[in-house]
A and B are shown apart, each in its own frame.
Chain A
Amino acid sequence: GAGVSQSPSNKVTEKGKDVELRCDPISGHTALYWYRQRLGQGLEFLIYFQGNSAPDKSGLPSDRFSAERTGESVSTLTIQRTQQEDSAVYLCASSYTTGGSPLHFGNGTRLTVT
């Protein structure tokens, strides 16, 4: 079956512009995560959606970052007024909510802010 799909795969934007990144999880996966990974660094948790519960936004680095998810479908991560330090790979992952379910990652969106 289809895996986690992210688009675009690459995005180059000018500083100050807004960008929207999209994640299409595996069908039936109720949990969805966004991570940021800067070059040579580890995974930085951004936000976690679990079913219809309120999302865990504790990892969002500033109010320029926001994310939405409608039900168990597509999620979008929006970065407003992009800065050069936002340059990174943004990874989306999904899983079943039941305990013991591993995450499945998308291929990521590589964001470059010039």
Chain B
Amino acid sequence: QKEVEQNSGPLSVPEGAIASLNCTYSDRGSQSFFWYRQYSGKSPELIMSIYSNGDKEDGRFTAQLNKASQYVSLLIRDSQPSDSATYLCAVSSNDYKLSFGAGTTVTVRA
């Protein structure tokens, strides 16, 4: 079983719609959770971090964490063509080592 799994995608959404990205993890002791965005040919950049159960909003992005279900999600509201990228879920275990999912590619159709 992979440590961090993401819905495989690709995910195509029309401009203005909500893009929903899901991630599950295997280590129940995980404490820190991150979403990175990676544009084609570029390095990953951090867009959200979440540490407690519930929702965390930052602009058009909302991260949701449910530790009991070992599930973290990212919602992108009012999707824009500039949101087209690969989104990586990352989870930090007790020894602080970060594990990444394989990523979900999102395409926003104008």
A residues neighboring B (CB under 8 Å):
31, 33, 35, 42-43, 45, 48, 50, 56, 91, 95, 97-108
Instruction: A95 to B51: give the CA distance in the assembly, Å.
Output: 17
Residue of A nearest to B6 (CB): A42
Extra pairs beyond A50-B97, A98-B96 (20, CB < 8 Å): A42-B100, A43-B88, A43-B100, A43-B103, A45-B99, A48-B97, A91-B44, A97-B96, A99-B31, A100-B51, A100-B92, A101-B32, A101-B96, A103-B44, A103-B90, A103-B98, A104-B46, A105-B43, A105-B45, A108-B43
Instruction: A33 to B98: give the CA distance in the assembly, Å.
Output: 9
Instruction: A56 to B99: give the CA distance in the assembly, Å.
Output: 13
B residues neighboring A (CB under 8 Å):
31-32, 34, 42-46, 49, 51, 88, 90, 92, 95-103
17 contacts between A and B (CB under 8 A): A31-B96, A42-B100, A42-B101, A42-B102, A42-B103, A43-B88, A45-B99, A45-B100, A50-B95, A50-B97, A56-B97, A91-B44, A98-B96, A99-B96, A105-B43, A107-B42, A108-B43
Residue of A nearest to B99 (CB): A45
Query: A residues within 8 A CB of B34?
Result: 102-103
CB of A6, distance to nearest CB on chain B (Å): 9
CB of A77, distance to nearest CB on chain B (Å): 16
CB of B63, distance to nearest CB on chain A (Å): 13
Instruction: A50 to B101: give the CA distance in the assembly, Å.
Output: 21
Instruction: A33 to B43: give the CA distance in the assembly, Å.
Output: 14
